[in-house]
Amino acid sequence: MMNETIDLRSDTVTWPTPAMRQAMAAAPVGDDVYGDDPTVNELEREAARLLGKEAALFAASGTMGNQLALMAQVGRGNEVILSDRCHIVFHEAGAAAILAGAQLRCQAVQHGQMSLDGIEQAIRKTPEDIHSPRTDLICLETADSDGVVLPLDYLRAVRAIADRYRIPIHLDGARLFNAAAALAVPVQEIAACADTIQICLSKGLCAPIGSLLAGPAETIALARRKRKILGGGMRQAGILAAAGLIALREMRLRLHEDHATARQMADLLAQRPDWFELVRQPEINMVFFRLTGYPVAETLLADRLAERKILINGPDEHVFRFVTHYWVTPDDVRTVMDQLEQLARET
């Protein structure tokens, strides 16, 4: 650890590794708006190759990547079919309405999945009808903030529906590599189920900033123009892209370690059923649980742990989430459990 604090709030809190800092300091750079930053260009080529897409675009954040996908593929006033719990709906400040002018056709989910029948029924079957918006896009999200990984057979089933109606799919793959690790499949198998895909470099992959949007060359070229509209032309962005290259080439290959640390955390919590109730076994690097008989009120737990240099978020509908990452070790997990026990004794 780079300091004494154990931060379990999210995998977005990860610092760049020493190798990333060195690469950033030495990165060849140019003006990316002119297209002559060699490190950004290398990162975009690497991402497109890795995901099996024609082209890729470096963006400042996952939100920007998702919104560029909408802006490049959805006509103003037309519809996007997506989960009512997905990041685009919950965590992007209404950007789809503001930026793309898109209407969101939200679907209820069970374990992260919209029903296949629900998706098909939501598609506007008569695009020439002047009374209705057209269905321009279906959005999916895997390895989401609920820690849910979409199975490949589900992704392929949605792909078949989309193909039947000639509607593109955008996949919010902010944690795509966690999903690939959990499913034990190459990332291209997941990416093949979508036309465009957004991947985040600044979550469990430790890069300080950035996401990538990949897809057909024509769509990415339009997204590049939309990125300029959003102020996303970042000039000498190779300094950031250098960390992204290490994220793609090295850090994605170790995410199974974070998953193992999450399982360790879940196992320790499960040993105290008088205090904690697991919501489910971790699929990726996230552990969800409720307090049962734990003697500290759920509204106070985050503050009490912060006093002990352990950072967590407060509960969401009575559910806590611990997120493991590169800077959380098995020893840290044991420390957290020790502190939870000590806090209980002192209460």
* Closest to 186 in 3D by CA, of 56, 282, 51, 43: 51
Q: Are 226 and 66 in contact (CB under 8 A)?
A: no
Tens digit of each residue's pLDDT (9 = 90 or more) over 95-148: 999 999 999 999 999 999 999 999 999 999 998 899 999 999 999 999 988 999
Residue 297 within any structural domain of the chain: yes
The pLDDT of residue 265 is 98
> Which of 251, 282, 307 is the endpoint of a domain?
251
Assigned domain for 328 exists: yes
pLDDT of residue 52: 98
Q: Is residue 1 part of a domain?
A: no
Q: How far apart are CA 80 and CA 47, in angstroms?
A: 25
Low-confidence stretches of the chain (pLDDT beneath 70): 1-3
CATH number, domain of 285, equals 3.90.1150.10
With respect to residue 345, please indicate whether it lies within any of the assigned structural domains: no
33 Cβ neighbours under 8 A, 6+ residues apart: 228, 233, 234, 235
Residue ending a domain, among 217, 251, 285, is: 251
235 and 288 fall within a common domain: no
What range does the domain containing 312 cover? 6-11+254-339
117 domain residue, yes or no: yes
pLDDT of residue 345: 95
Could you tell me if 52 and 176 lie in one domain? yes
State how far the Cα of 336 lies from the Cα of 346, in Å rounded to an integer.
15
Give dist(CA 251, CA 258) in Å, integer: 11
Q: How many domains does the chain have?
A: 2
The C-alpha atoms of residue 281 and residue 279 are separated, in whole angstroms, by 7
What pLDDT is stored for residue 127 in this prediction? 84
pLDDT value for 3: 59
With contact defined as beta carbons under 8 Å apart, do 137 and 70 qualify? yes
Asked if 128 and 173 sit in the same domain, the reply is yes
Helices 238-249, 38-51: crossing angle, 10 deg rounding = 30
In a domain, 347, yes or no: no
Q: What's the confidence (pLDDT) of residue 1?
A: 43
Do residues 50 and 69 share a domain?
Answer: yes
Q: Note whether 150 and 110 are same-domain residues.
A: yes
Angle among Cα 89, 90, 93 to the nearest 5 degrees reads: 85
Is residue 177 domain-shared with residue 279, that is, in the same domain?
no
The most distant pair of C-alpha atoms in the chain lies apart, rounded to whole Å, by 68
Residue 191 within a domain: yes
Residues 30 and 147 in one domain: yes
* SS3 (DSSP) at 204: coil
Q: Are residues 69 and 88 in the same domain?
A: yes
Predicted confidence at residue 4, as pLDDT, reads 86
Same domain, residue pair 79 and 134: yes
Q: Are 34 and 257 in contact (CB under 8 A)?
A: no
Among 339, 347, 298, which Cα is nearest to 4's? 339
- Give the pLDDT confidence score for residue 282 in this predicted structure: 97
Shared domain check, 168 and 138: yes
The domain that holds 166 is classified in CATH as 3.40.640.10
DSSP calls for 65-126: HHHHHHHHH--TT-EEEEETTSHHHHSSTTHIIIII-PEEEEE-EETTEE-HHHHHHHS-S-
Query: Does a structural domain hold residue 344?
Result: no
Collect all residues with Cβ–Cβ distance below 8 Å to 235 and sequence separation of at least 6. Answer: 31, 32, 33, 37
Note whether 189 and 64 are same-domain residues: yes
Reduced to 3 states, what is the DSSP secondary structure of residue 307? coil
Q: Are residues 135 and 227 in the same domain?
A: yes
Domain end residue (candidates: 223, 251, 279): 251
How many whole angstroms separate alpha carbon 83 and alpha carbon 89? 8
Q: How far is it, in rounded angstroms, from Cα 322 to Cα 302?
A: 11
Nearest to 240 by CA among 189, 202, 270: 202
